[in-house]
Every structure is written in C-alpha cells, then in structure tokens.
Amino acid sequence: MSENQYTYAVARIRSKELGLLNNQFLEQLLAAKSYGECLKLLADKGWGGDEHLTAEEILMREREKTWSLIGELVDDLSVFDVFLYANDYHNLKAAIKLVCSGQEEHGNIFLSQATIPPEQVLEAVRTHAFGDLPEHMRETAQEAFESLLHTKDGQLCDLIVDRGALDAIHQTGKQATNELLRLYAEITVAAADIKIAVRAQKTGKPLDLIKRALAPCDTLDVDRLAYAAVGGVDAICAYLEGTSYADAVPELKTSPSAFERWCDNLLIRKIKPQQYNAFTIGPLAAYILARENEIKTVRIILSGKLNHLSEESIRERLREMYV
Amino acid sequence: MGLTFALLGAALAALLAGIGSAKGVGLAGQAAAGLVTEDPSQFGKALVLQLLPGTQGIYGLLVAFLTMSQIGIIGNPVEVSTLKGLLYLIACLPIAIVGLLSAIHQGKTSVASIGVIAKKPDQFGKAMIFPAMVETYAILALLVSILAVFGVNGLNL
C-alpha cells in the first residue's frame, strides 16, 4: 500500500485538528459556573448546536461526526475495526443478556458505532445463528450465550465477552501494518489486563478465573500477572515494576481511575508525533483517538459539573489533549 | 550514432525531470485539494506550494531544447560525432536524474508545508522556504547541464 495514499485525507485532518479542544478550552469549561454554561461553551465550539440535546446526545453526535468524516476519507473503514471491536462486543453482551432474560428491547442499549449493525448481532443471538457473526466473534458469542443460559452467571458472561473483545483487538493489532494501530491494540489490551488483575485481586477471584479473563499481549506475561493478582496488590505492583508499565505503579496505588487516566495519557503522548506526519494512515487514526479522548474528557467535566464536584476534583480526572 | 546519443540525452532530460515534476505536483495537489476542501480561502497559498515541484520539468525541457538546437534537431542540421553525442548525453544527465529525484522530494516537502498552512495560515512565508530549499539542487543540476551542453558544443571532436 502506497504511503502517499492518504495525502488528501491527512491534509483535511490537519485542518480539522484546528477544531479539536485544547487545554485552554478545557480550563474555560472547568471555570464555567454551571453545567448549563458548559453546554453553552460547547455549543459555541459547534458541539450540540442550537437544538436542545442532552449531554449524552451531544457526545454521541460528536462521535458520529468523527466517523462520518473518516468514512468520507477512507474507502475501506475496516482498517479502523480495532477501534470499534469494544463496541461490537458491548453490543454482543447486551444482545446475549437481552435474549437470555427474555425481555423486550427497551431504550437504546446498543452502540451504533460498530463494525456490524447491532440488529444483526441481536438477530444472530436470538436465532442462535452464531455463524452469521464475524469469525472472531462466533466462538465467544456461543460460549457466553450458553454460559449465561446454563449458569445464569452474568459476571462469567461478561468475562467471556470481554476476553473475546481483547483477543480480537490484540489479533487485529498484530496484523495491522500501521505502527500506531499496533500500539493502540497493545496498550488497550495491556491496560485492560492490569485493570482486570487489580479488580480480581480486590474481589478475591480464584486463579483459574483470572487466567481465563486475562488476554495475552506482548508487553505483559499474563501468567505472572495472574499469579501476582492472587498474591495481592503489592505483588501486582512488584511485577509491573519490571515491565514497561513501571511508571503506572504509583497511579495504580492511588486509584483505578488514576491508572486509567495514566493509560489514556500514555496513548495520547504516543500519538502526538502524528501531528507532524504528512502521509500514512497514522494521522487519521490519531484523530479518531484524539476525538474519543476529548469526548471522554468533556463527559468527565459535564458529569462533574452536574454533580457539583469541585474544580480541583474534576481537574485531577482530566486527560491530556492531543493538540 | 552521435546524434542518437545526443537525442537520447535530450529525451532523458525531458522525460525524467518531467516524470519527477508530475509526481511532485500530483502529490502536493492531493494535499492542496484536502486543505481547500476544508478551507477554500487557502487556495492561493496551496497553489504556490503545489507548483514548486513543477520547475524541474521546465528545467528538463530547457536542457532538452538547448541540446536539440545544438545538434541540429531544431534549426540547421549539424554533424555530431559519436564521442560528442556521448558527451551531450552525459551533459543531460544531471538535470535528468537530479530533476527526477528532487521533484519527488520537493513534492513531499510541499505536502508537509501544506500541513503547516492548514494549521497556521499566517506562516506561509516560512512554510514555502522548506520546499524551496530543495529547488537549490535542481538549479545546480540545471546549471551544470547547461554549462556542459554549451561546453560540448565548443569542443572540436
């Protein structure tokens, strides 16, 4: 594939990057006196517009805008599947629980930005036609469905689906030709594994269940991580000290949300050089991640304002911005 | 035989430098189109950056034209010995090869500079310097080719 294939797209993305939220704007949002004032500031930036949308609708619309732009720029969106697998598997989880509980669909529990339409996932689960799902999802879907049907254990079902999602992300990342996509997959899977290990340690999960939940990745030895999770949080930290995630240990000791913030910031720092790349698909992938990051950050600020959290309390949860 | 070698040199100068310019201008044109899609007011600046890699093609044409006029393809026919023909061929090579490569690289630099004006339109002057620097080497090659073509003409071989 020619490295110049995305020259037009990257030039458009360069212009679009001017519209990304920067730290200065986040400070303005933080300084806003109320939730309503935040929405007004966002509307001035083109988020939401004149219509009376809820915060969640505004964020959903922004995500749709991103994918609509990327759809214009790239003929084959499958190169970005790795970003959407989490949504696919979320939809699978929702479909399995809906079918097994025998309930009718109420409200929108499915995510629209996915590689396969949520209706197709629901139909496949409802008719037990797992062969209609993408190959990477079939086995996971069947196993999770049967597990929930026979054991009624929702947590086990979640574990199977989450592991399937991580495996799919890892596999797709390994096959990606672009360095940024590989990096995204690796950081996503490794961060998820660390979070799973910490959560499992806190809830006292047995070793075999932890091993089942952890997805293999290149920067972590999941067997050692699983044993460390059984040993305690200090054992997890001791293991991580010897990995490329050593810097995350203090954050991990602070809180799971501090660790999550560290992971998000790490990814943003890794993608920042794409601002100076005039070719390849890297800047497009970086733009998608930057938009996801700002949507996440705006959600944190809005929910903080809605719940009347202090400015400082919201600030310490904020992510670094791409621009 | 001398005429064949000399004409081959002229053809290479026009061909290779022209191919390089077509690639460079095409590449920069894609980026310019991307920028103008988002901000049509940048058309003028983007056009200048797109045109920069086009000069190598003109240089190649100039050297080809000069060579053809010296060997009588254009104008009065003259006798060209094999050695002289080979020397004309060699004289054309600098602009042919440097023209090809510098135009492609200048195109890539123009793409990067279009990225600069996409984000900072007021920095057009600085952005234009970067691809213009690549031009230096095309001009040097042009100079060598022109001097060599005229020099060969003066030789009594």
Provide CB contacts within 8 A for B32, sequence distance 6+. A11, B46, B47, B49, B50, B114
Provide CB contacts within 8 A for B125, sequence distance 6+. none
Classify residue B8 by its DSSP letter: H
pLDDT for residue A49: 67
* Nearest CB neighbour to B118, from listed A4, A14, A276: A14
pLDDT, tens digit (0-9, with 9 covering 90-100), for A64-91: 999 999 999 998 888 999 999 999 999 9
pLDDT for residue A1: 44
* Phi-psi sector, A128: left (phi>0), alpha (psi -120 to 50), beta: left
As a whole number, mean pLDDT of residues A255-260 equals 87
> CB–CB of B115 and A16 under 8 A?
no
A35 touches chain B (CB under 8 A): no
B25 touches chain A (CB under 8 A): no
H helical segments located in chain B: 2-38, 43-51, 55-70, 82-119, 124-154
Answer yes or no: CATH 1.20.120.610 is held by domain B2-154.
Answer: yes
Q: How far is A302 from chain B (nearest CA, A)?
A: 28
A194 within 8 A of A186, measured Cβ to Cβ: no
Question: Which residues from B are below 8 Å from A10, CB to CB?
Answer: 31, 34, 115
Q: How far is A18 from chain B (nearest CA, A)?
A: 6
Closest CA to A263 of A231, A219, A307: A219
Provide CB contacts within 8 A for A43, sequence distance 6+. A49, A50
**Degrees to nearest 5, angle at CA A51 with A45 and A53:** 90
Residue type at A304?
G
pLDDT mean by block of 10 residues, chain B; 157 residues: 94 98 97 95 96 97 96 88 95 97 97 95 95 97 97 88
A228 touches chain B (CB under 8 A): no
pLDDT for residue B77: 84
* Nearest CB neighbour to B119, from listed A7, A17, A279: A17
pLDDT, tens digit (0-9, with 9 covering 90-100), for A283-298: 999 999 999 999 999 9
A22 touches chain B (CB under 8 A): no
